[in-house]
Structure 1
Amino acid sequence: MSVPGPAPRREEMLVDAEATERLGERLGVEMPPGAILGLSGPLGAGKTTLARGALRALGVREAVVSPTFLGLRRYSTADSGIVYHIDLYRSEDATWLWGEGVDDDLDDGARAVVEWIDRDRRLAADAWAIVELDVVELDDGQTGRRARIRRHR
């Protein structure tokens, strides 16, 4: 019997907001139906920027704004799909999502991008991938982002 190894990880340095958004686009293109892409990191690390790229790649055409105050934004895509942008910053966990029907939609193939996913261990354990973002100083003295990408599925 073989024991699975640790989840595959990779690290990328992101020099600006455009690079952060492009990483989100690449991950969004790869997300299978029913997948959750989790984002973690401190305030200002680029979670919403990365989410914007992923949501665009998933077919969201309207303006993408942070759901911090609402907690949840539900988008319909051109191909009749559903994509959620969720922010758990103001939540202790994600249990309130299930009353909103998110779990049923995920079971039916919707996708979700969740900022502050580390606030709910159960949701993080179900994630297709998690991106941990950090603000770092680059070699040229500029500020950039380090993205640690861990695939779960």
Structure 2
Amino acid sequence: MTEQHWELPDEDATRVLGTKLAGALDSGLVVYLRGDLGAGKTSFARALLSAMGVGERIKSPTYSLVEGYHGKDGRPAWHLDLYRIADPGELEWLGLDALADLAAVVLVEWPERGLGALPTPDVEVHLSYHGSGRHARLQPKTVRGEHVLARIA
């Protein structure tokens, strides 16, 4: 499985990458978003969801932990931010069963805080600071993830 590297000199480049990933989807996808605070995880998620045709305001799930949406094709999408979770057991009351829907797009910020309670990722996006911009490393973790990343290479 081949990973990809993208230089993101500004927030617009992060949006472009999120849009490209959305355009490569032909079904659902589970994406783990990793990176330090302010590395661009939420910007990436918003760009992907917007490109899917989510017509409503895309809120950060920092306090709600999970926000649900539907793309213009009716495909469900979930955006989770687990930064405030101390133990994966805290996720039980969220009703995460819907995340198992293979047609759903699931974006998870801070996935390490939900280990054991989350679906396996198809793609991991690692965002890091690089000079005055950012660097993205995209790693496919499943065959489905490999196919999606091949479409944006």
Q: Normalised by the shorter chain, which TM-score bucket?
A: 0.7 to 0.9
Distance 1:27 1:97, change over 3 A: farther
Distance 1:151 1:59, change over 3 A: same
Query: Are 2:19 and 1:21 aligned?
Result: no
Maintained 8 Å contact 1:118/1:124: no
User: How far apart are the structure 2 equivalents of 1:79 and 1:125?
Assistant: 23
Is the radius of gyration larger for structure 1 or structure 2? 1
Q: 1:30 aligns with which of 18, 24, 28?
A: 24
Distance 1:151 1:120, change over 3 A: same
Instruction: Tell me the SS of whatever aligns to 1:126.
Output: coil
Distance 1:32 1:124, change over 3 A: farther
Maintained 8 Å contact 1:82/1:105: no
User: How far apart are the structure 2 equivalents of 1:42 and 1:79?
Assistant: 32
Query: Are 2:144 and 1:150 aligned?
Result: no
Distance 1:104 1:124, change over 3 A: closer
TM norm structure 2: 0.80
User: How far apart are the structure 1 equivalents of 2:17 and 2:82?
Assistant: 21
Identity between Structure 1 and Structure 2 (%)? 35
User: How far apart are the structure 2 equivalents of 1:124 and 1:145?
Assistant: 27
Maintained 8 Å contact 2:8/2:136: yes
Structure with the bigger percentage of helix = 2
TM norm structure 1: 0.80
RMSD: 2.2
